[in-house]
Structure 1
């Protein structure tokens, strides 16, 4: 019997690229939420889970055009605490989707 997979598997190791300095903190917060989140049934379900997680953790939507500030992700510095939603849409979410597809092929 295989071990159940959780979304957090997709978050290790971290993304090699960040848009703004709040992005790694959002990544970590999503990874922590994913520790008990069952494996999504599809790539679309994964994207929806990420979008809902971003909304829940930040109060903002990934569809926003401008970077937004998240106080808990602010740890000093000029862009500290800012999240780049365009970077998430264009780089990080596709990166997670690619990892999902690789894992599906491996664990299928």
Structure 2
């Protein structure tokens, strides 16, 4: 099984939760760009949750919204990352792409 976790982030979602979400998406794509695809979905989930915590300082499971200063580019909600988006849209999307990448 080839490929990297970062490649699962190549195509961006059409809709975001908060203004910092696209910056986190791109940050994770770069950060995980050389991380090989793990052998199972549970391991991928662990990698993604650890990367989320590293990037935001918050646990994905309990994060509501968090300000990530380096993603703040101006504007009222700039730099805000939505835990809800990542739990309900971002993470499931990446996991779905993983399942397609590894095949049956």
User: Shorter-chain TM-score: what band?
Assistant: over 0.9
Moved over 6 A (4+): none
Contact 1:6 1:37 in 2 (8 A): yes
CA distance in 1, matches of 2:48, 2:32: 9
User: Of residues 68, 72, 81 in structure 1, which corresponds to 2:66?
Assistant: 68
Aligned residues: 104
1:90 and 1:77 map into 2 onto residues whose CA distance is 25
* Contact 1:22/1:74 (<8 A) preserved: yes
Structure 2's unaligned 5+ residue stretches are none
- Whole-Å Cα distance in 1 between the matches of residues 85 and 11 of structure 2? 18
Structure showing greater Rg? 1
Secondary structure in 2 aligned to 1:68?
A: strand
Partner of 1:21: 19
User: For 1:98, what is the secondary structure of its paired residue?
Assistant: helix
In the TM superposition, what is the alpha-carbon distance from 1:73 to its structure 2 partner? Answer: 0.6
Is residue 2:26 matched to residue 1:35?
A: no
| TM-score normalized with structure 1 length | 0.89
Structure 2-normalised TM-score? Answer: 0.92
RMSD of aligned alpha carbons: 1.4
Aligned pair partner of 1:88 in 58, 68, 86: 86
SS at 2:73 equivalent: coil
8 Å CA contact retained: 1:64, 1:86 = no
